[in-house]
């Protein structure tokens, strides 16, 4: 039978169930509400004025995509409103735009003589640039882009620099492009073709360490084994303490059960490691207490006391 972890909704006290302990702890940490109370799961509603404006514009011939852009409402929500009002016409906005002879001459004049772009001409006629592009292409007038079509070949030196910056120094494609004076798209393409590209999980980890750790990723990796050894020492010392003498020892239990408590290090193991504090102090009985499991999940690596308060005790 599948295990279920249960907590109450912070808004309505309704029961929330989760299939994993991690989801439960995340729910507590981020104060998730049940589906009934969460705005994420509520259907978007609009007042009469917005609905009337959507209907008015659609019936006047404006595409639902343009209505969505103008009113800053998703296309799906615009479509839902129109369907509910029973005026939605499937495929209406995919009808090919036909220009009159006068309009065609005007478009060509604007494009050829006045030098206006397809985007500007499209805005003038209230259409997307696709029908303008199609018309000019059919007339053989559409200009090619500024690219000369030549493939950019990286030198061996450039390839080695990109590889070094990406693999050894953990820089992203934007940082590499800035450093070597190249468009990031070429850097991305080279990394992709060579199979060097990091997966999203590792890329996110590197970004977070660089952003919040204020140090290089290689330095972070080196510290992992040191922290693991430090934590092992603290836990070993903790296990030798007379924790049965602590308040609420008899309520010790797992997460997800009402009135259960966790053993907590008041001054966290991680902070102890960062500040190079003797493991005997962090793992000692003075730094231990039992707190409700919900509080311990929210506390994570934060400290409930200062190091001075711990030492003076």
Going residue by residue through the chain, which has 313 residues, state the pLDDT in tens, using 9 for 90 and above.
Answer: 455 788 888 888 888 888 887 788 878 877 888 877 776 555 677 888 888 988 888 887 777 778 888 888 888 888 888 888 888 877 666 656 678 899 999 999 888 877 777 878 887 887 767 788 888 888 888 876 544 444 557 788 888 888 888 777 777 778 888 887 777 777 877 777 777 666 655 555 555 555 545 556 556 655 677 888 888 899 999 999 999 999 999 999 888 788 899 999 999 998 898 888 999 999 999 999 999 988 888 887 889 999 888 887 6
**Strands 261-265 vs 15-18: parallel, antiparallel or unpaired:** unpaired
Q: Map out the domains of the chain as residue ranges.
A: 5-41, 48-94, 96-147, 156-212, 219-312
CATH 3.30.110 is held by the domain 96-147: no
């Amino acid at each position: 039978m599948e295990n279920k972890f249960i907590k109450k909704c912070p808004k309505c006290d309704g029961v929330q169930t989760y299939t994993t302990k991690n989801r439960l702890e995340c729910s507590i940490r981020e104060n998730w509400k049940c589906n009934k109370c969460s705005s994420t799961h509520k259907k978007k509603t609009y007042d009469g004025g917005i609905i009337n404006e959507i209907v008015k514009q659609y019936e006047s011939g404006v595409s639902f995509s343009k209505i969505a852009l103008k009113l800053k409402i998703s296309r799906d929500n615009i479509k839902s409103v129109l369907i509910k009002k029973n005026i939605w016409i499937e495929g209406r906005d995919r009808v090919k735009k036909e220009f009159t002879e006068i309009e065609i001459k005007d478009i060509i004049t604007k494009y050829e003589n006045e030098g206006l772009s397809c985007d500007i001409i499209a805005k003038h006629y209230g259409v997307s640039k696709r029908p303008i592009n199609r018309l000019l292409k059919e007339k053989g007038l559409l200009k090619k882009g500024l690219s000369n079509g030549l493939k950019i070949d990286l030198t061996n030196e450039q390839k080695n620099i990109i590889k070094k910056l990406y693999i050894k120094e953990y820089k992203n494609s934007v940082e590499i492009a800035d450093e070597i004076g190249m468009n990031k798209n070429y850097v991305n393409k080279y990394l992709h073709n060579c199979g060097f590209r990091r997966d999203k999980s590792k890329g996110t980890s590197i970004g977070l360490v660089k952003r919040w750790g204020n140090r290089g990723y290689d330095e972070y990796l080196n510290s992992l084994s040191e922290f693991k050894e430090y934590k092992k020492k603290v836990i070993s010392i903790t296990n030798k303490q007379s924790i049965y003498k602590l308040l609420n020892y008899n309520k010790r239990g797992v997460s997800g059960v009402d009135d259960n408590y966790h053993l907590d290090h008041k001054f966290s193991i991680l902070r102890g490691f960062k500040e190079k504090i003797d493991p005997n102090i962090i793992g000692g009985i003075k730094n231990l207490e039992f707190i409700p499991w919900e509080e311990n999940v929210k506390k994570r690596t934060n400290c409930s006391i200062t190091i001075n308060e711990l030492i003076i005790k």
